[in-house]
Amino acid sequence: IACCADLNYTDPLTTLNYTTDYTWFSDKRSCRKIPETELRNRSNENVRLFDIDEGKRCYDLPTIKNGVYLIRGTFPFDSLNSSFNASIGVTQLGAVRSPRLQDLEIEGVFRATKDYIDFCLLKGEVYPFISQLELRPSPEEYLQDFPTSVLKLISRNNLGDTKDDIRFPVDQSDRIWKASSISSSAVPLSSNVSNVDLNANVTPPLTVLQTALTDPERLEFIHTDLETEDYGYRVFLYFLELDRTLQAGQRVFDIYVNSEIKKESFDVLAGGSNYRYDVLDISASGSLNVTLVKASKSEFGPLLNAYEILQVRPWIEETNQTDVGVIQKMREELLLQNSGNRALESWSGDPCILLPWKGIACDGSNGSSVITKLDLSSSNLKGLIPSSIAEMTNLETLNISHNSFDGSVPSFPLSSLLISVDLSYNDLMGKLPESIVKLPHLKSLYFGCNEHMSPEDPANMNSSLINTDYGRCKGKESRFGQVIVIGAITCGSLLITLAFGVLFVCRYRQKLIPWEGFAGKKYPMETNIIFSLPSKDDFFIKSVSIQAFTLEYIEVATERYKTLIGEGGFGSVYRGTLNDGQEVAVKVRSSTSTQ
């Protein structure tokens, strides 16, 4: 895949075909051109920048289940030296941090567990970006004894060759063998030897094996840029004897990894072939040192043609594939009527693991994650409710309120685990399916404020149901009408007291204003005046009906205290609506209140 390329093309150097990524991400506004000074013989001059505040963006690539694959992402040099993360499925490969003045390639080998694989970029310090993505079949020997692991490439080196990297078509698996620098003591060897018994699929191409490094005493290869956490590593060492005059026993050496001997008296020619490879499985953190030391009775020093170091990462179990299939199907149904919806477009990769999708919550079940909550409220969605929503067998909470969904409500199977359903404030029509009303685990159901939907007879509701609005709109028509406050008596008393205070101050100030403050006729000052304030009994006070409400009724009226409209020293105030449509404010006293 060539990200943001205008057209599909063939790379003239490798003869590989590349396709654009507009099938996955159609927005050209996220494309950037790479300056010519930084192209460095790269075939694709574009990069895709994912301008996201959170979450991840994933490319789903087709695979054959149980097949072994190499996947490689190429990231252009980033002068800011900032980082983000990449993953194969939900198994993280670590941070993408470009080294100085170089492009970075993140590569892994894995066994496919289904008919596709996600390669994901996760938001980090900066917006994630990518230039190329490649998927290739890979030799199975890499995962021998590690069938459920991901191998992250640390280094792949072609020794003795200081010129160009070697890849496809020379390497049919399209592994990139990096030309290596030569230490002061090592001696490069090369040969056109061709009679080689290449007895393993993992073997490098002959062109790579025709060069090598040797030293009279020892060869040492040091990697100090490993992650500080303790990981397992697989070290693949490839040997081809390039000196046709040597016999078995003449070139013998010991192999050490981090000063620990792994192979003693290693002889390439001991088995009768001039080719041999070995795999060392070790643990390391921070650094790794591979050293080949000449044996005491050997005539010649050690030789090595090529080597690979791969980090072993455990394969992380993905979300239940039934749930994944259903939520992906639902996403496609919603996008038909909601193209460009940011919430839906942010749904990429695994819905639960490594940054869950917005509006989704998951729990563990039988060793994998399942989707238990779907909250798409106020997501600016329209069209029909996807029928696939009823196929989410582990769903417990469903909230699609405050959208513009129309049509009828789909039926749900009695096996559904739904506990809470909120369909309110949409444009749904018809009658609520009986299958929803009779769901065995349902505890709350709201479907009011759907103008063309029929209310439900309370007698038809499940007896175990705790909270429901019975499909009534609860004050939509009288939204701008009178607001009745449950604490009306307290508020009324405060208003009356305030009125008394204002009246008293005004009258008292009028009597005390000095003569000089007035112009015109002067009136005599009255002395020894006595004010008589009327009692509350002198005022006409409209009777207020005090009505008692149960806690259960209050929770229904406030939709379980859904809308907070104010807070004070005595507690929080929530908006509610009575069954007759009157809107009320409900104060919930705080634990420290003495009111």
Is 80 exceeded by the pLDDT of residue 533?
no
- With cut-offs at 50, 70 and 90, classify the pLDDT of residue 458: low
With beta carbons less than 8 A apart as the criterion, state whether 304 and 227 touch.
no
Higher pLDDT, 84 or 103: 84
Whose CA is closest to 277, among 238, 310, 249? 238
Q: List strands edge to edge, sheet with 129-130.
A: 31-33, 46-49, 129-130
DSSP code of residue 19: -
Q: Is residue 522 part of a domain?
A: yes
Is 60 exceeded by the pLDDT of residue 527?
no
Is 50 exceeded by the pLDDT of residue 557?
yes
Per residue in 161-218, pLDDT tens?
A: 888 899 999 999 999 999 987 766 788 888 888 777 666 566 899 999 999 999 999 9
Residues 6+ apart with CB under 8 A from 249: 267, 269, 270, 298
Report d(CA 81, CA 232) in Å as an integer: 27
Is there a single domain that holds both residue 455 and residue 340?
yes
Per-residue confidence (pLDDT) for residue 473, from 0 to 100: 85
Q: Is residue 363 part of a domain?
A: yes
Is there a single domain that holds both residue 160 and residue 303?
yes
DSSP code of residue 251: B
Per-residue confidence (pLDDT) for residue 34, from 0 to 100: 82
- Partnered with residue 136 across adjacent β-strands are 70
Is 80 exceeded by the pLDDT of residue 71?
yes
Per-residue confidence (pLDDT) for residue 441, from 0 to 100: 93
Q: Is residue 84 part of a domain?
A: yes
Per-residue confidence (pLDDT) for residue 574, from 0 to 100: 75
Query: For the chain, what is the largest distance between any 2 Cα atoms, rounded to a whole number of angstroms?
Result: 138
Per-residue confidence (pLDDT) for residue 428, from 0 to 100: 96
Q: Is the dihedral of CA 88, 90, 91, 97 positive or negative?
A: positive
- Cα–Cα separations (whole angstroms), residue 235 to 213, 254, 287, 289, 300: 17, 15, 13, 11, 24
Higher pLDDT, 218 or 520: 218
DSSP code of residue 190: E
Is 70 exceeded by the pLDDT of residue 393?
yes
Q: Which H or E run includes 422?
A: strand 420-422
Report d(CA 180, CA 162) in Å as an integer: 5
Q: Is residue 474 part of a domain?
A: no
Q: Which two tokens stand for residue 69?
A: 């694959």
- Extended beta strands in 123-206, E state: 129-130, 132-137, 149-158, 178-179, 187-190
Domain of residue 374, residue span: 321-468
Total of domains in the chain = 4
Per-residue confidence (pLDDT) for residue 465, from 0 to 100: 62
Per-residue confidence (pLDDT) for residue 128, from 0 to 100: 92
Q: What is the mean pLDDT of the chain?
A: 83
Q: Is 495 helix (H, G, I), strand (E, B) or coil?
A: helix
Per-residue confidence (pLDDT) for residue 477, from 0 to 100: 43
Whose CA is closest to 248, among 215, 272, 224? 272
Q: Is the dihedral of CA 131, 135, 139, 142 positive or negative?
A: positive
Is there a single domain that holds both residue 208 and residue 237?
yes
Is 60 exceeded by the pLDDT of residue 589?
yes
Is there a single domain that holds both residue 394 and residue 342?
yes
- Across 438-456, average pLDDT: 90
Is there a single domain that holds both residue 280 and residue 375?
no
316, 345, 372 — which closes off a domain? 316
pTM over 0.85: no
Whose CA is closest to 419, among 378, 468, 460, 490? 468
Per-residue confidence (pLDDT) for residue 429, from 0 to 100: 94
Is 80 exceeded by the pLDDT of residue 488?
no
Q: Exposed, middle or buried by CB within 10 Å (0-12, 13-18, 19+), for 178?
A: middle
Is there a single domain that holds both residue 130 and residue 31?
yes
Q: Is residue 68 part of a domain?
A: yes
Per-residue confidence (pLDDT) for residue 271, from 0 to 100: 87
Q: Is the peptide bond before 169 cis (omega within 30 degrees of 0)?
A: yes
Q: Exposed, middle or buried by CB within 10 Å (0-12, 13-18, 19+), for 123?
A: middle
Whose CA is closest to 422, among 554, 562, 576, 551? 562
Residue 30 maps to which CATH number?
Answer: 2.60.120.430
Per residue in 330-345, pLDDT tens?
A: 999 999 999 989 889 9
Q: Which two tokens stand for residue 405?
A: 């969904």
Residues composing the chain:
595
Is 60 exceeded by the pLDDT of residue 257?
yes
Per-residue confidence (pLDDT) for residue 190, from 0 to 100: 84
Report d(CA 305, CA 135) in Å as an integer: 26
Is 80 exceeded by the pLDDT of residue 355?
yes
Is there a single domain that holds both residue 373 and residue 246?
no
Per-residue confidence (pLDDT) for residue 270, from 0 to 100: 93
Per-residue confidence (pLDDT) for residue 573, from 0 to 100: 80
327, 330, 332, 336 alpha-carbon torsion, rounded to 10°? -160
Residue 560 maps to which CATH number?
Answer: 3.30.200
120, 138, 156 — which closes off a domain? 138
Q: Is residue 516 part of a domain?
A: yes
Is there a single domain that holds both residue 263 and residue 164?
yes
Per residue in 110-161, pLDDT tens?
A: 999 999 999 999 988 888 999 999 999 999 999 999 999 999 999 999 999 8
**In this prediction, what percent of the chain has a pLDDT beyond 70?**
77
Is 80 exceeded by the pLDDT of residue 468?
yes
Is there a single domain that holds both residue 259 and residue 162?
yes
Instruction: Please tell me whether 178 is known to bind a ligand.
Output: no
Residue 386 maps to which CATH number?
Answer: 3.80.10.10
Residues 6+ apart with CB under 8 A from 51: 30, 127
Q: Is residue 538 part of a domain?
A: yes
Is there a single domain that holds both residue 434 and residue 573?
no
Is there a single domain that holds both residue 396 and residue 499?
no
Is there a single domain that holds both residue 444 and residue 541?
no
Of 121-125, 471-475, 579-583, least confident by mean pLDDT is 579-583
Q: Is residue 478 part of a domain?
A: no
Of 364-368, 376-380, 487-491, least confident by mean pLDDT is 487-491
- With cut-offs at 50, 70 and 90, classify the pLDDT of residue 466: confident
